[in-house]
Structures are given as structure tokens and as C-alpha cells.
Chains A and B, each alone.
Chain A
Amino acid sequence: MSLGVNEIRRGLAKGKFSSVEITRDYLARIARYNPTLNCFISVTDEIALAQARAADAALAKGNAGTLTGVPLAHKDLFCTDGVRTSCASRILDNFIAPYDATVVANFKRDGAVMLGKTNMDEFAMGSSNENSYYGSVANPWNTGHVPGGSSGGSAAAVAAGLAPGATGTDTGGSIRQPAALCGVTGIKPTYGRVSRYGMIAYGSSLDQGGPFARSAEDCALLLQTMSGFDARDSTSSEQAVPDFGAALGRGIDGLRIGLPKEYFADGLDGRIAAVIETAIGELRRLGADIRDISLPNTRLSIPTYYVVAMAECSSNLARFDGVRFGYRCENPVDLEDLYKRSRGEGFGAEVKRRIMIGTYALSAGYYDAYYLKAQQLRRMIKDDFQQAFTDVDLILGPTTPEVAFRIGAKTDDPVSMYLQDIYTISLNLAGLPGMSLPVGFVDGLPVGMQLIGNYFDEAGLLNAAHSYQQVTDWHLQAPELEA
């Protein structure tokens, strides 16, 4: 099993199997392995089979779309019309979305089959998937370890072959970090490339959707469906979307790749550094021109990010008030009690911490010291990247400072969890595209390499990753699963 998106597409086109057959295979794998892995919050069997039957009819008639009949999973943060969209929160446990996110609608348009909705950190706040109302997700490579987060369910589902591809969102690394920890390929596009309409908001100036898959080639196909201008997202970009698949295969001879010295400094596991060095050697053999660069404000990206993200989340999550949808507390004595207890009982501890920090940072007397200061640092971080991109075409480094840690290892210390995002969050502050691809193992757990591109150069990232994957097979490794 464990086919890729493009393999399934070709198999369907050649009639090697039907969409109903392959969809049933995935549903059977989910039934077998999900009790251990907990990748899915909801499995949408009936919808999947109905969509698969429709896909088989379209394939028979010869009017298939680019993904007709291909089963995929959506992070449970994308609104799905008529299907529970929980954001892994008690406050939305009973929320049946009344409309489709643009990303979901795009996948329907192109014929994809929805297997279900994947587990995540509540409201995408977390780096381990332990902050879910529905419980932790297990890393398929070692079920005692975390899959990363926040899109941990999507990453683990792809790694375990419970879906050939899945959607995720990335506010500070929530696609790239779990992709790294689960040994799959994931890309966070440029801010504005993928519509945020119907994507439940965390930090609106940082949030961006993107795909997980087994290869860069598969990610290119999924990203094609996800991308494009959407009038319903006020920050959607009108930049033309290139053919990502057509950009693959042009090679990387002469490509200038920068290594930020700050990404290889203290805090990085030396064994990860060694694995990344080997991958850099492969890229050099493919003709890449490797250069040393500096991103001097890297260290400040963590405090900057947490002020910006928490301020935005405190504002975004004000809408969950127990009045129009979602959880409402029992027997409220007055309106204020209704708000406070519905939110207090509906949100988990990490969400409450972030709302409170954000509320504090935006409160009278503190705004300049926190939010304004963070926005100034944000520009300095962006300027660092722009300076670097005058000398290089891509930037490369580790995706994470450690491989997947044990479940429970960091739950008592929010700050040590935040430090996991050191290499990923600056891209969200700058709005740049980045991706993670598997390049080896440490202690039997996957190591991810991050590639960072200039604005709207997803094609360049995918091409570089594809070139690497043409001469290596780390992306083809699959874990042995415990049923």
C-alpha cells in the first residue's frame, strides 16, 4: 500500500483500481490503525464512498478533474459543510460547519474524496498535538512520541499511509514541524497564496494553509488545487499561480542555497546537524552553490511571534461566546456568566494561556511595549530575509532542533515547547514560503530539512525538493505499524 497521490491518480486513469476500491482500502486502514494513532477526529465513510462512486462515474465518462477519485484528509480546522468541524476544541465539539472553506471547495471542484477530518492541537495552538480535546496523536514511527503540531493528525496520517495526502495549516510551523517529525513532505506557501476563507483563524496575519504528502511532486499537485485568489479572503493574493508540476525537473545546477549560521548554532541536536550536512552534500553534487549567510534576528523571532500570534488569537477567539454556535455552559445566571463559563469550560489550558497573554499585550498601557514593539521587530526579521535573498535563491536548514520528543515530556513547560519553533516561525512573521522534507533518521525518528524560498517562489522550493528526492529515498521510507 502506501501509494502517493500521483500514483493513485495514474492508477485510476489506467483503470488499475477504482476510486471506490482505493477509498475502501484507506477506510479499512484507518479502522485498523486509527485506534492506536488517533490521527482522525472524524472519519467520513459515507461521504467518502459517495464521492468515490461519483468519481468513478466521472472517470468512466472521461471528464475527470486533476484529483478525481483521490482520497485525502482535511485538518479539522477547515470548515466542511454539513460535517463537524471541531478545531480539536470542546467549544466546537458540536459545531457542524454551515459552509465549505475555499480550500475544501477547491478539492471538491477537482474531484478529491474526503476520508475524514484530522486531529490537531486545539485551535492550532501547539507543537506536539497534545493540546487536543480528542487526545494526543501518536507518532507512527514510535507511538510513545509526539507527531508534532499543530497539524499532527494530518502528518501522522500521511506517514502511516492512512491517507496519501492531507491538508494542514501553518501559523508558526504547524505544517513543517509535524512533517519533519513524521517523515513526510509538507509545504507552507507564501502568505496570501492559499485562501483563508473557512479556515478557523488563529493568527490572521500569520495563518496559511498547505498540503502534506509523501513527495514534493505530490505536494505540487495538491498545492495547485489549494492556491489562487479568493475575493472572500481580504488578504488573498492576486499573484498568478504557476503550474507547480511543470516547474519540477529543471534541476538545481547553479542554484544558490544559503545556510543561516543561526540555524546551526547552540540548541540544535548535533546528530540532526550531521544528517543535514549529508543532505547538503547531495545538493552540492546536484550542482547547488552552497553559501553561508546570516539571519541575525532569528533568536528574537520567538518572542516576536508569541506576542503577534497571541494578540491576534485573543481577538479572533472572542467570537466563541456561547451564543450563536458551539458550546454553551449549563444554567448561566446572566450574560457575563454565560460568556465566561462557556469560554472557560470550552477552551483548553493552552488556548486560555494564549488568549490571556494576548489580552494583556493589547490592554491599555501595554500595547506599545508589546504589540507595537513586536511589529517593529517583525519588520527587522523580514528585512533580514530580504537582505539574504539578494545573495541566494533558497535558504536551507533543519526544520526542528530535536526529533520527535516523548509524549508528556514538555507539557509542564509551555516555554520549552515554544522553543521547538525556533527555525519555523520567522517565515510566518515574514510571510515567506517554506517546506520540510525527510532527509534521514536519529534514534529511529525522522529528521526534516527545511527549505525557505523568496515570496511566491513555491515552484522553486518544490523543484529543489523534487531534485533531492529523485536521488534519495528517505521520502519513501514507511514505519512499521502496530495494529
Chain B
Amino acid sequence: MTLKSDDIRNIAHLARLHIDEDAIDRYAADLSSILALVDEMNQVDCSGVAPLSNPLDATQRLRDDVVTEENQRDKFQSIAPDVEQGFYRVPQVIE
């Protein structure tokens, strides 16, 4: 699979990553070479093999639906880029 510059722009958008225009070709080449490595997977027939997502085949542990964390809003907001009155500020979203 070879990726073209428009593919890179599309993937970067999906990943919400700004990529400088003059770096697009480089990413296209690098990502294409990684995909060429990945395409080695196609040599193997895996039909009938159950996918493995947790290496120990463990399932997600559940817990009771009760509050376990204490409120630390001020501490958490002390490291935020922009806050006001307990809210996180971002550029205006709704006109």
C-alpha cells in the first residue's frame, strides 16, 4: 500500500494533527515504508483464528458503580492551559 499526499492530509485530519505542507511528502514515504513492512502479514492465512486482544485472554473486570474518587478540581485545573471559574476555556464553538 502506497500512501499519496492527499491520503496523508486525510489521515492527519482524522488524527487531528497539523502537518506542515513541506513535510507531507516525507510522511507519505515513511508511512508507505511502514505499511510495506506491515503488509508481510498478508502472507499468512489466519482464517478461523480467534483474534487476541488481551494477551492473557482476560476479560474486563467490573466493579460496583459507586464513587471512588474525591473531587480534586482545583488541583487538576492548576495545570490546565486556560481555565475560568472552574471551567476549561477553549475558542468559541457556538455562534
Contacts and interface: CB of A to CB of B under 8 A. Distances in A.
A231 B56 contact: no
A376 B49 contact: yes
A339 interface: yes
Contacts of B20: 344
A42 interface: no
A415 B33 contact: yes
Interface residues of B, number: 54
Contact of B27 (A237, A328, A353): A353
Nearest to A350: B30
B39 to A, nearest CB: 7
A317 to B, nearest CB: 9
A360 B31 contact: yes
Interface string B38-72: 11111110100111111110101101000000001
Interface in B1-37: 3, 7-8, 11-20, 27, 30-31, 33-37
A414 B76 contact: no
A335 B93 contact: yes
Interface string A354-368: 011101110100000
Contacts of B15: 314, 343, 355-356, 359
Contacts of A418: 34, 37
A323 B83 CA distance: 9
B84 interface: no
A378 interface: yes
Nearest to A326: B81
B41 A382 contact: no
Contacts of A328: 81-82
A355 B93 CA distance: 26
Interface in A341-385: 341, 343-345, 347, 352-353, 355-357, 359-361, 363, 370, 372-380, 382
Contact of A353 (B13, B31, B60, B76): B31
A15 interface: no
Contact of B17 (A95, A231, A344): A344
Contact of B56 (A192, A373, A380): A192
A17 interface: no
Contacts of B88: 323-324
Contacts of A341: 18
A299 B54 contact: no
Contact of A376 (B31, B46, B76): B46
A188 to B, nearest CB: 12
6 contacts: A98-B78, A234-B61, A344-B17, A373-B42, A379-B49, A380-B49
Given A299-B40, A343-B16, A372-B51, 10 more contacts: A98-B78, A235-B56, A302-B37, A303-B37, A337-B91, A356-B11, A357-B38, A376-B46, A418-B37, A432-B55
The 5 tightest CB contacts between A and B, nearest first, are A431-B55, A344-B18, A375-B51, A376-B46, A328-B81
